[in-house]
Homo-oligomer: A and B are copies of this chain.
Amino acid sequence: MRALVTGGAGCIGSDLAGRLVKDGYEVAVFDNLSSGKQEHLKELLKNGKFRFIRADLLNRKQIGDACKNIDIVFHLAANSDIKYKEGDPTDEDLRLNTIATYNVLEAMRVNGVKKIVFTSSSSVYGEAGKIPTPEDYPLRPISLYAASKAACEAMIGAYSSMFGVQGWILRLANIISGKSRKKGKTVLTDFIEKLKQNQGELEILGNGRQSKSYLLADDCIEGIITALNKSKVELNIYNVGPEDFLTVNEIASIVTEEMGLKNVKFRYTGGDRGWPGDVPRFLLDTRKIRKLGWKPRHNSKEAIRISIKNLLNKG
């Protein structure tokens, strides 16, 4: 099997690429390095079954060429900066997610590639009336990021139905790892950076009571592979996440503890959410993927602690 991994120089993509090589795939990573880093691929680049393509999904010729002689696309590339703040451009999600995904699907169609694995997001549910939220719950995105992920899912469904492309859509909890990226801070890299600047005070976006689920990249990749290997209908949609959530306040406490800091004053920007379009509380119902035999090795709290330790060791 020959796999193309878009966004493959990112935190999840680079680990996924490594896993695929280990599983016997020939792997090409397609990344423009806007937020991914080539250093994440350092070891892989020594492997004869791996190659790196530095190119851009908004260039139709480049993705068209990359899809030649490929059996499956793992499409992870996306806008990495999901926090909207006033003055930010509003078309990033449209361009980097919706249009980029169309370009991937069309390149696949033209080149006869019949399988796509897509990393969607728990955010597509918006402020769901049912928590934990199952896969058949209606999508009601409240951010441009989430809207674009829903748009990508819909296009994958259309290519599946119209052109026989088989799709795996994974709606992921917040994925964290010990790796960092150039753009698009996670709550962890945000807190660590701020605390390195100022050990006495930590600015927390929102009121600190937002509750979210966190999953380590390793567990996420195991979930992706499980869904791909064990679910074989035309369109396979799975939530991937842990069964618990943490508040932002709890995360802030773990970060300060792991950094050995005491008496850090938490300062809140206020409001029930971190930024316009932020979903204050989510928890995925993951019974569907658990029935396939997957379960994460670590819950949210463990994942947060492991990830912080890794980030601090590197930084």
Q: Write the residues of chain A forming the contact surface with B, with a CB cutoff of 8 angstroms.
A: 84, 90-91, 94, 98-99, 102, 106, 109, 126, 136-144, 146-148, 150-151, 154-155, 157-163, 276-277
In the docked arrangement, what's the CA distance between A292 and B90, Å? 35
Chain B residues near A160: list those with CB within 8 A: 142
Cβ contact within 8 Å between B140 and A157: yes
Assuming the contacts A141-B158, A143-B158, A143-B161, asked whether A98 and B151 have C-beta atoms less than 8 A apart, the reply is yes
Q: How far is the CB of A247 from chain B (nearest CB, A)?
A: 22
Instruction: Knowing that A146-B154, A161-B277 touch, tell me 6 more A-B residue pairs with CB under 8 angstroms.
Output: A138-B138, A139-B139, A143-B158, A143-B162, A147-B154, A151-B154
> Residue A162 contacts which of B157, B161, B277 (CB distance < 8 angstroms)?
B277
Q: How far is the CB of A111 from chain B (nearest CB, A)?
A: 14
Does more than half of chain A's interface fall in helix, strand or loop, or is it mixed? helix
Cβ contact within 8 Å between A157 and B142: yes
Chain B residues near A163: list those with CB within 8 A: 276
In the docked arrangement, what's the CA distance between A139 and B277, Å? 21
In the docked arrangement, what's the CA distance between A277 and B91, Å? 28
Cβ contact within 8 Å between B136 and A157: no
Assuming the contacts A94-B99, A99-B94, asked whether A139 and B162 have C-beta atoms less than 8 A apart, the reply is no
In the docked arrangement, what's the CA distance between A163 and B147, Å? 14
Chain B residues near A143: list those with CB within 8 A: 158, 161-162
In the docked arrangement, what's the CA distance between A151 and B151, Å? 4
Chain B residues near A146: list those with CB within 8 A: 154, 158
Chain B residues near A142: list those with CB within 8 A: 157-158, 160-162
In the docked arrangement, what's the CA distance between A143 and B160, Å? 9
Cβ contact within 8 Å between A106 and B84: no
> Residue A155 contacts which of B106, B147, B157, B162 (CB distance < 8 angstroms)?
B147
Chain B residues near A106: list those with CB within 8 A: 90-91
Chain B residues near A158: list those with CB within 8 A: 141-144, 146-147, 277
Chain B residues near A94: list those with CB within 8 A: 98-99, 102, 155
In the docked arrangement, what's the CA distance between A147 and B147, Å? 12
Cβ contact within 8 Å between A137 and B140: no
Q: How far is the CB of A202 from chain B (nearest CB, A)?
A: 26
Cβ contact within 8 Å between B154 and A141: yes
Chain B residues near A91: list those with CB within 8 A: 102, 106
In the docked arrangement, what's the CA distance between A54 and B74, Å? 43
In the docked arrangement, what's the CA distance between A140 and B139, Å? 10
Chain B residues near A162: list those with CB within 8 A: 84, 142-144, 276-277
Chain B residues near A139: list those with CB within 8 A: 138-139, 154
